[in-house]
Amino acid sequence: MKINKTELKDFLDYKVKEYNTIAFIDADPISIPHRYTLKEDIEISGLLSATLAWGNRKMIVKNAERIVDFMGDSPYDFVMSHKKNHLARFDGFVHRTFNDIDLKYFIRALKHIYMDKGGIENIFQEHSETESLQLAINKFKSVFFELPHPERTVKHIGDPLNGSAAKKMNMYLRWMVRKDKAGVDFGIWKTISPSQLSCPLDVHSGGIARKLGILKRKQNDAKAVSELDLALRKLDSTDPVKYDFALFGLGVFERF
């Protein structure tokens, strides 16, 4: 598809307004952290929901709901006060390749991060770069797996420095950092700017970006994320990741 920059921006801005609305929330994993008002509850339930975010959206939401229900609908309190025997309630949990072994480690790692590292936002703020959070994702993963851990669990957090598009983490960061009047993203992290975010790249957003000519790389990997970053920053340097709504909506809802 050939379209000039002005027409492309107008088209995508229109689609952002169409999909970046409260109506987007209910069927999306972001609906889980929207159950809460406490910053730490939003952070923890958001990270767990984003981690499950591949496959059927209804199943993602259903299984994320199961997790926070297991936590007594108080994620932060559960993380900070849980004992080893409390983790037995997760026995048998499975979402695709993410299972109870992985979930139990995530709970332990989150407690470590809040007790010893100043919280999730603090890690990202400490390692953020002017125009990117990809190094910060790498550093967060290192901290997350500081404790003795099952090797199988490492794959559930992508690492851009190892070539991953890190779709789930980039989506999670959009939720935490980006703030607008639509009320979808939370914007509760004030130490990081939306201009530093990268678009969550998956089969939907990647496919639409290629059809629109703003992404040429065929693989959905870290290099493709960097390429898409450059294109979206030319359209809006202060809030480039708002276009995630447009790309995702065109791909999932319109089969564009």
218: DSSP letter: S
Q: Which of 2-16, 103-117, 190-204 shows the lowest mean pLDDT across its residues?
A: 2-16
Sorting pLDDT into bands at 50, 70 and 90, what band is 253? confident
Positive or negative CA dihedral for 188, 190, 245, 53? Answer: negative
How many residues belong to the chain? Answer: 256
pLDDT for position 1 = 57
231: DSSP letter: H
User: Each residue of 124-134: pLDDT tens digit?
Assistant: 999 999 999 99
Positive or negative CA dihedral for 61, 63, 65, 67? Answer: negative
Residue 5 has pLDDT above 90, yes or no: no
Q: What is the DSSP string of 150-192?
A: -GGGGGGS--GGGT---HHHHHHHHHHH---TTSSS----TTS
User: Each residue of 70-88: pLDDT tens digit?
Assistant: 999 999 999 999 999 999 9
CA distance 195 to 241: 8
Residue 2 has pLDDT above 70, yes or no: no
The radius of gyration of the chain from alpha carbons, rounded to an integer in Å, stands at 18
pLDDT for position 150 = 98
pLDDT for position 255 = 73
